[in-house]
Every structure is written in structure tokens, then in C-alpha cells.
Amino acid sequence: MFERLESQIKGICQQNAVGLYDIDVINAKNGKVLCVYITKIGGVNVTDCSNVSKGINSLVETDKTLIDNLVNIEVSSPGLERTLKFKKHYINSINETIKISYSSDEKKETIIGTLTEINPDHIVIKKENEKFAIAFQNIKKAKTFYQIKKSANSNDKRKHSSKPAPMPLQSCDSTNKGDYNE
């Protein structure tokens, strides 16, 4: 069922010239919330989110079997700190700063560094002058990382990586399908 929903949403995204980044279904107090994250070169805007949201709303109104007990649809960009779940997410984040939690010798480690390589079974993170190879199977959580650095002689300076963020954070559309209380 989820594959069919994902396929339908991919079609709606293609019709609106945006890419599907990820889909989450969250169990809320009164039902399910469908969260759809979209991307586009140059970043998504409110109109992109609204158009995709309207398409998904029309789809779920037409085919009630796609998702049971749906109370809300939220469409947005994945933001500056994007969750990295799939290999394509890592590939699109080469040369960006990432924060990754992984298991190493039965203990949990966390590292913040630059993603420099993607290989079939592992990634390579560079932190200062040291490189760390981390197997995909050991990764527990990963996301792009954005930090604010204070400058001694000016206002806050925002530092990310040398590569500009491909998806600026936008306030996007939310289609309410009923009462929504978490």
C-alpha cells in the first residue's frame, strides 16, 4: 500500500516540476498525518508546496484506500538540516557538513564532519585532517548539519559548508483533513 501511495505522490511531484525527497506518516491523536518533503533546484517555494498538497488532497479524496484515517497533509521542503535515509540523500549531500550517529564496537558514536565519499557499503567523513569510513549498516541516524558560529568582531556568522544548501527552508502548505492534535 505504501509503495502505491509513494508512486502516486511521485507522479504528482513530476507534474509540478519538483522532486520527492521523502514521505513520513505520523500517528497523531485523531488519526494519521501525511508529511511529504519535496525538492527543486533553486529551492521549493510556497506555490510548489501548495500545488503538490492540492494534488495529494485530490488523490486521497478520490482513493480512500491509499491511507486510512488521514487527518492532515503537510508538504514542505526538507529544510537545511535534512535527514539522510537513502543513498540518494547522501549522494546529494557530498561536500556538505553532516552529523552522523553510528555504532562502533557496540557503543554509539557521533561525528560532525564533511561528507567526502559515498561507496557501495560505506561513506567517508572528513573531520579536520582525519577521515572516517562508516559502514551504512552501522549508521543509526544522519542529517545535514547547520551551525551558527560567532565572530569576534561582528554579528553571528552562519556557517554550513562550501556548497550552498540546495533546499532553503520555506514555510509551506498544510492541508487540514479534520481535527489535528498531537
Architecture of the domain whose range is 2-79+167-176: 2-Layer Sandwich (3.30)
Whether the pLDDT of residue 166 is over 80: the answer is no
The predicted pLDDT at position 178 comes to 41
What's the pLDDT at 148?
Answer: 80
Instruction: Provide, rounded to the nearest whole percent, the portion of the chain with pLDDT above 70.
Output: 81
Could you give phi then psi for residue 136, rounded to 5 degrees? Answer: -55, -40
Q: Could you read off the pLDDT of 84-143 as tens digits, one per residue?
A: 999 999 998 999 999 999 998 889 999 999 999 999 999 999 999 999 999 999 999 999
Is residue 172 predicted with pLDDT exceeding 80?
A: no
Cell of 120: 557501495
- pLDDT computed for residue 154 by the predictor: 53
Any idea where the domains of the chain sit in the sequence? 2-79+167-176, 87-159
Q: Which CATH number fits domain 87-159: 1.10.287.3510, 2.30.30.520, 1.10.150.20, 3.40.50.10860?
A: 2.30.30.520
2 compared with 70, residue with greater pLDDT: 70
pTM: 0.72
